[in-house]
Structure 1
């Protein structure tokens, strides 16, 4: 990917936090790479190189700055939003697919050859899938070293390294220090097995109240709990389960994860970031929406409104089906009957296989809707992908091919489950009422045409209409 030198250098010179994650600054005189907002003295122009990914900087022989922690920057909003091969690949790598299934598994999931995938990623990001996964493993390892009392050998395998030697070599190369040197004496670390506390970065502003309000209204008892400051829920992850507690702060989101298997740290973090839409670029989104005089007051009053997404596309699809033509509170009651939980304990939402085993009595809904959920479970168990790495058009087509699933349901899943930033639901009653309140057309056809001015951020406009 070509990066405009002047634009990037101006961002570095002004320490512009908005560009963190968009690119990385490498300094040839120190052989260190940083994020644009690094507080260090601005390097001389002749000593600067810019890279589109941390992996590309590492590949060029630079090590991560231990002052600004470039690996802790928010992910690029480009890879979060794009629906093409590279965007899907980046989201799947972030979820740990390469660590679990290797590059062949990633290529198979995307439907391309390994060679073509490597060529595309290298052209866009300056590094192939193995290098990108390696950079993520190094970051996961650093988090575990600094926040837990796990042994270094345990951390090596938990982070996805094939051997302790590979782990040691990578950490030395990326951070310029041995793993033991990253573990500072006297630092506060958790001794509780499987518990990790960390900070999730985001690009400000973040309107945390709107996220928590949205999630609280729709929280499924037994799966999640929400109050005015904190969100907590159970997760089903590739190697086990987890409970996560997320508390937004002025400059980051405090996360505390209790994992049954620490190998699930990277996918757990990726899903928490996705849930709260932490990789978004709120400045770009709000600038587009504020250009419409109908939304400008909302943007000025509540900057940084995000799209509450999900940790599991399958779960979101079930929520969407259950929520058809009933109130949000009624949907919560119906969904709670699908969840079997112990007292005072959160449990993950049931898997497709578990739902297929439930008796009819667990589905407190019309028979046709029960049949739709079972058909959905069979489709997902059979290979229908509804996660952010899915082909969005194929996923929507797969959903609408099922009995009882129409455009509204598929669109809702595309927005919250798959992560499409440009979904719009003009037939939704809440959206139409919000439009009427703002003085814009509320007829579905006219409203859909009007919403074209909000592209490519119609999902964000949709959330603001609901809030109005």
Structure 2
């Protein structure tokens, strides 16, 4: 063993809480549960792979394990053309919470338009500290993480679409085609056009108009199994907002306003362990943000093995996991929409809340000409007379809209204290909002009546006892809540005495709020 190899093995001894032995066993088994949690660098070929790569497994002495794709590329390795590392789900379960949130913002494309100093300042840490955390937990610099994000997104588009290379460069976040070509050649040693030809697809020879470019785009969005797609569709079908969303047994569809252009987004089961995203008329610059929204909304990056191993130690949750493996945490389109849903749905049924949200869309179209939920500025001016909500809830909606419109708060960075200071916003709303936004895997609305009954065997368990019983579920209480809500909607007899399932009154808070 060379000194370099010895150093390599020492450095990758612990990868995202996995030992080298665990990584070795996972790649030999091609275990999809470890997809994205580490990458295998093959030093003899200068290629890095996902643990599910179908290629012949290399000898262990030729292997180094990496914490991230960026770390592998910073080491000088190229992505495998067979297993395609750009398709791996993200793995943030081992990262500090703040770093995980910042990494998600980079995936969204925010570093392409901003600076690392701005991201660090918004997180309340120094740029130097942020750089150190990147090196420690990801094995790569922030610059390399951003560069790898752009290159891997471009690789996906080169492989899966017929978009012209110029459009791909800008969609991935490069400022010019020259910078894209230089970065690609420097990282992968070949021209982008060469990769497309190797994949058996020549560069389009026509010159589509701006209107036609990217009119229809289809991408596969992988996840780690298990994944209960039917449960996710059922959740969204019950909560689909008229004129904005449509959901059936197989497809989720929604209108997405980007600037002055309306895109149509469809989600369905894809090939293997993946969902299929089909989008029509999306401005290409909005693609990173769309991918971020969909992956978070559909909880595609969750490590269900880790979550299940922890929550499954509780006998009750273990039974639910065995009955419904792969039930995840359905999210919302964005933080603002989830807040509107939570406020409108306070103390009413799902059907009632969706009716009101549909009226909001209709009135926004009538008053502002666009069929969408009102923006904060629009909500401040929108006519809400006779919309079906009590005056106190209308004041809550307007108060939140005013705070957002004037910049008093920003939902992506708002603290609990800031939110609770808004009229009509209480602990349940904040916890539920954080849970549905995917902002906190430990968010847990302990005062939720359905959770109280689920844990009380049909009787309303006091909040303090709910908190005590759920303490051992940290830091995954949001998933525990999702499992309990799912069980109560599907087979409540597993949790309660059916005779105790009395009808919920409108003045009691319920989970089935949208």
Q: Which residue in 2 is equivalent to 1:209?
A: 230
1:385 to 410, 414, 426: 410
Unmatched segments (≥5 aa) in structure 2: 1-11, 489-514
Are positions 1:243 and 2:264 aligned together? yes
Q: Matches of 2:62 and 2:267 in 1, distance apart?
A: 40
Kept in 2, the 8 Å contact 1:289–1:454? The answer is: yes
Q: Matches of 1:175 and 1:70 in 2, distance apart?
A: 14
Are positions 1:371 and 2:395 aligned together? yes
- Tell me by how many angstroms 1:180 deviates: 1.0
Secondary structure at the counterpart of residue 294 of structure 1: helix
Q: Matches of 2:111 and 2:232 in 1, distance apart?
A: 31
- Of 199-208 and 361-370, deviating more is 361-370
1:136 to 145, 149, 155: 149
Structure 1 residues 350 and 75, CA, compared in 2 at 3 Å: closer, same or farther?
same
How many aligned residue pairs are there? 459
- Tell me by how many angstroms 1:348 deviates: 4.3
Q: Matches of 2:172 and 2:43 in 1, distance apart?
A: 29
Structure 1 residues 36 and 148, CA, compared in 2 at 3 Å: closer, same or farther?
closer
Are positions 1:196 and 2:217 aligned together? yes
Q: Which residue in 2 is equivalent to 1:433?
A: 453
Q: Please give the per-residue CA displacement for 1:177-235, whole angstroms capped at 9, x wherever unaligned.
A: 32112324458999853321011000000011111111111111122111111111133
Q: Matches of 1:87 and 1:222 in 2, distance apart?
A: 34
Q: Matches of 2:89 and 2:165 in 1, distance apart?
A: 26
2:66 to 43, 51, 54: 51
- Tell me by how many angstroms 1:176 deviates: 4.5
Q: Which residue in 2 is equivalent to 1:402?
A: 422
**TM (normalized to structure 2)?**
0.83
Are positions 1:355 and 2:390 aligned together? no
Q: Matches of 2:261 and 2:76 in 1, distance apart?
A: 36
Matches within 5 A, 1:434-453: 434-437=454-457, 442-453=461-472
Q: Please give the per-residue CA displacement for 1:366-407, whole angstroms capped at 9, x wherever unaligned.
A: 2221111111112233153334xx4xxx53222111010000
Matches within 5 A, 1:232-271: 232-236=253-257, 242-249=263-270, 250-271=272-293
Q: Which residue in 1 is equivalent to 2:184?
A: 171
Kept in 1, the 8 Å contact 2:131–2:141? The answer is: yes
Secondary structure at the counterpart of residue 57 of structure 1: helix
- Tell me by how many angstroms 1:18 deviates: 1.4
* Structure with larger RCO (C-alpha < 8 A, sep 6+): 1
- Of 270-279 and 97-106, deviating more is 97-106
Unmatched segments (≥5 aa) in structure 1: none
Kept in 1, the 8 Å contact 2:428–2:448? The answer is: yes
Are positions 1:225 and 2:246 aligned together? yes
**TM (normalized to structure 1)?**
0.91
Q: CA RMSD in A?
A: 2.6
- Tell me by how many angstroms 1:154 deviates: 2.3
Matches within 5 A, 1:150-161: 150-161=163-174
